[in-house]
Structure 1
Amino acid sequence: MNKKQIIDFLKSKDDRELFSCAKKVRKSCFGVNVYIRGLIEFSNNCARNCMYCGLRRDNKKIKRYRIPCNTIVDLSCRIAAKGIKTVLLQSGDDFYYTQKMLCGIVKKVKAKFPDVVIALSVGERILDDYKAFYDAGVDRYLLKHETINSKLYHKMHPGQSLKKRLKILEHLRKTGFQIATGHLIGLPGQTTEDIANEILFYQDFLPGMIGMGPFIPQHNTPLAKYQSPELKLILKNLALTRIVNRIANMPVTTALATLGGYKAQVKALSQAGCNVIMVNFTPLVFRQKYEIYDKKVKVGLKMASRVINLAGRKMSFDKGEPLDISNL
């Protein structure tokens, strides 16, 4: 698909053909299964100062927390004991957790549950850390690029560069990780052409997981007064991405649930090509403080089951590996 075709779909008022195609692609590649990932948000401390994020360094109003390493291990093992085959450990860019600490967590979980997939999302680190994480047993690494527009990236991420971010993603792939990335839909300053370029990036780069969620303002950030995008734009973005990238797992993000409720999640699963739901296992006392955006909902197993059933899909605790492009 070329840029003009993508832009035409994004601007079109008739989206029936688009959603029909996305559904067919998803069904032929991934079937009816919706894979459950167990999420632990283990720290809301962050060294970065991203303009849209409530965890940003300059937000002095947020109550910070760090979950102890042994507790992270226990929580991960509880998820695995339920039969859920993928655990995502996520935090801000918090360098309190050293390479040794994070590797120790992973090794302890893998020792008890060797078949569980560990996904890690701790931001930008020195390259040696990534190799150590991989050797310790981390299978997947999530590092969202947020926007493929380099000028907008620099504006939204003071002191950071898109070029470096993309180089890290390439390094992660060469290290051996299944790589996951994604962008914000409706980020202030984003154009229709920017969205088309995001979709073309997924077509060329072929990450194994693509997490796209809507921009939702957080009241303690510089972007507090900006509006979220319309649901239809979000669903079109998802559908187009599914069509151009047939191998990637695509989650229904918590941000989409926050913005559009369970009905938006159902549409993402039934129409727009998504095949993963992140279920939050962070203890409530901490979960309420992970305020990336306002009014964040909790997606638990009961809610996930309801949404999956309404979408006519089947819940699966399996690993749900991305597809091998050579087999398509």
Structure 2
Amino acid sequence: MEGLDTRFSRFQESLKRVQDGRGYTLEDIVTLLKAEGEDSEALFAAAFKVREQEFGKEVYLRGIIEFSNYCSKNCLYCGIRAENSIHRYRMTIDEITAAAQDIKNAGIGTVVLQSGEDAWWSPERIMSLIKSIKEQVGITITLSIGERSREEYALYREAGVERFLLKIETTSKDIFTRMHPDDCLFQRKKCSVWLKELGYMNGSGCIIGLPGQCERDLAADILWFRDMGMDMIGVGPFVPAQNTPLENHPPGSTFMTIKTVAVIRLICRKAFLPATTALETLEEKGQLKALKAGANVIMLNYTPQTYKSNYKIYSNKKAIKLEKALETIEQAGLARVIDSNQNNQRDGSAV
């Protein structure tokens, strides 16, 4: 009993330091991430309270268009990695613009334009796409197109792109290097710094359950998100993808994912935190649990059906429809935000 009391006391002390926002350490974050039973419920309740203090009952919807599944990279976990033999596609600007209009018609104020790292989509083509959506649809744009030059990021910012999502996936140099054989953690971090300097609402995130990952790695990720002042942080469990080096690696823990969301909410109080599709893919009501642990965004996929089945970053991806998202939000005791251009300054991007 004494041992249990000691662990309980350690958790409570760590939770209080993190809630107070001062004096906490990486070890305090590790303690929260290891919470079980009543401790984990206390963690979720604290995160829910902070989200309510910062955002009320507001939950934001986002519409994603996966406009190209060509990718030059070979990330070990990703189903659209360059070496995978899959049907490749690139949507036309007219098709993307029409899908963006569908998003706006649904009352959603932000389109997330996501692709693999596809050099065919040159700065000139991306600029034409931005112009088409801005002029014909008039909707907030989040770009998620990978690592580009600072000059290119500046070009898109000047063209009116408000947000950029570039997930770090892990800040562990060892894990990053193993998972990204043709990438560099230093360069990825540098790109995030550029995006911040250029005035984007800056998005990042991590994958829970990568090989060799532990609570200390996740705690380091959280501290990096804090120090970078990330506006949006997407946390999802690892989900295996067919025909990848990790196709037989077990999925990430949804419980650990939700605990990570909760700790991030306590530390990055004003960040926009998605209840990710990957959570719902692995666990029924996974998104509901994330909303109850501090998340405040749900992503809806508006990629046309013709292409959607070929954007397989992981296998068996669950399709979340608008009606389902609204039901989940209601079950969490929260309310959907009807987006408009008037709330763009507060409105966050998501994944």
- Length-normalised TM-score, structure 1: 0.94
1:317 aligns with 2:326: no
Between the aligned partners of 1:174 and 1:165, the Cα distance in structure 2 is 15
In the other structure, the counterpart of 1:268 is 290
Please list the CA deviations of residues 184-207 of structure 1 after superposition, one character each: whole Å capped at 9, or x if unmatched. 011111111101111111222121
Unaligned runs of 5+ in 1: none
Q: Cα distance 1:196–1:107, how it changes in 2: closer, same or farther (>3 A)?
A: same
CA contact (8 A) 1:2 1:200 kept: no
Equivalent residue in structure 2 for 1:239, among 262, 271, 275: 262
Q: Secondary structure at the residue paired with 2:54? A: helix
Q: Secondary structure at the residue paired with 1:15? A: helix
Equivalent residues in 2 for 1:9-158, closer than 5 Å: 9-13=32-36, 14-60=39-85, 62-114=86-138, 116-158=139-181
Across the aligned residues of Structure 1 and Structure 2, the Cα RMSD in angstroms comes to 1.5
CA contact (8 A) 1:49 1:158 kept: yes
Between the aligned partners of 1:249 and 1:11, the Cα distance in structure 2 is 23
Between the aligned partners of 2:216 and 2:127, the Cα distance in structure 1 is 40
Please list the CA deviations of residues 128-175 of structure 1 after superposition, one character each: whole Å capped at 9, or x if unmatched. 211111122211000001000012111110121111111110101111
Equivalent residue in structure 2 for 1:280, among 273, 287, 301: 301
Between the aligned partners of 1:311 and 1:83, the Cα distance in structure 2 is 21
**Partner amino acid for 1:265?**
Q
Between the aligned partners of 1:166 and 1:196, the Cα distance in structure 2 is 17
Equivalent residue in structure 2 for 1:208, among 222, 231, 238: 231
1:2 aligns with 2:25: yes
CA contact (8 A) 2:70 2:117 kept: yes
Please list the CA deviations of residues 212-243 of structure 1 after superposition, one character each: whole Å capped at 9, or x if unmatched. 11001112100111111222111110000000
1:4 deviates by 1.1
Between the aligned partners of 1:306 and 1:57, the Cα distance in structure 2 is 37
Q: Cα distance 1:122–1:83, how it changes in 2: closer, same or farther (>3 A)?
A: same
Equivalent residue in structure 2 for 1:294, among 306, 315, 320: 315
CA contact (8 A) 1:247 1:323 kept: no
Between the aligned partners of 2:41 and 2:330, the Cα distance in structure 1 is 22
Q: Secondary structure at the residue paired with 2:295? A: coil
Between the aligned partners of 2:121 and 2:338, the Cα distance in structure 1 is 29
Percent of residue pairs identical:
41
Between the aligned partners of 1:8 and 1:306, the Cα distance in structure 2 is 33
Consecutive aligned runs of 4 or more in structure 1 exceeding 3 Å deviation: 319-324
**Partner amino acid for 1:283?**
P
Between the aligned partners of 1:230 and 1:146, the Cα distance in structure 2 is 15
- Length-normalised TM-score, structure 2: 0.88
